[in-house]
């Protein structure tokens, strides 16, 4: 028996509402997966889609990015969707780069914007 896919969701502050909207529009596909999310992002997603299986970790700057990185390194995350805001300064930029590096090293699909995330979920639904 195969396990459900695990999708990690992260969104910078200015992209959290966009992530919640994305989750609502893709709720049927996301409902087939286990979701891990950084704290505030996970809260926004759960507000929008209370029926989803979302495990909320710490806030990104407080270690949530590293928690998701650890899950990637142990093979527990299959897809990373990280809505990045390129127009806002990131005080924890080093953490963000480390997370993206792990996704690349462990060769998991990674979307950094909504357009790419939509394509990843299209493939996941097939």
69 is annotated as contributing to ligand binding: no
Structure tokens belonging to residue 61: 């700057």
41 is annotated as contributing to ligand binding: yes
The whole-angstrom separation of Cα 52 and Cα 27 is 8
Residues with a catalytic annotation lie at 65
16 is annotated as contributing to ligand binding: yes
60 is annotated as contributing to ligand binding: yes
40 is annotated as contributing to ligand binding: yes
74 is annotated as contributing to ligand binding: no
Structure tokens belonging to residue 74: 């142990």
Start-end of H helices in the chain = 16-25, 27-30, 39-48, 64-73, 93-105, 114-125
Among 76, 75, 84, 74, residue whose Cα is nearest residue 55: 76
116 is annotated as contributing to ligand binding: no
Measured between alpha carbons, how far is residue 86 from residues 3, 14, 89, 113 in Å?
Answer: 34, 10, 8, 10
51 is annotated as contributing to ligand binding: no
Binding residues for substrate: 12, 16, 38-41, 59-60, 92
Binding residues: 12, 16, 38-41, 59-60, 92
């Amino acid at each position: 028996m195969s396990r459900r896919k695990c999708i990690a969701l992260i969104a910078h502050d200015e992209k959290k509402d966009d992530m919640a909207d994305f989750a609502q529009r893709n709720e049927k596909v996301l409902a087939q997966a286990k979701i891990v999310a950084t704290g505030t992002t996970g809260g926004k997603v759960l507000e929008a889609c209370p029926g989803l299986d979302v495990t909320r970790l710490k806030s990104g700057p407080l270690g949530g990015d590293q928690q998701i990185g650890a899950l990637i390194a142990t093979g527990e995350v299959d897809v990373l969707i990280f809505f990045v805001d390129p127009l806002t300064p990131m005080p924890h930029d080093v953490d963000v780069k480390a997370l993206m590096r792990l996704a690349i090293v462990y060769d998991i699909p990674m979307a950094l914007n909504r357009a790419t995330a939509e394509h990843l979920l299209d493939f996941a639904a097939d």
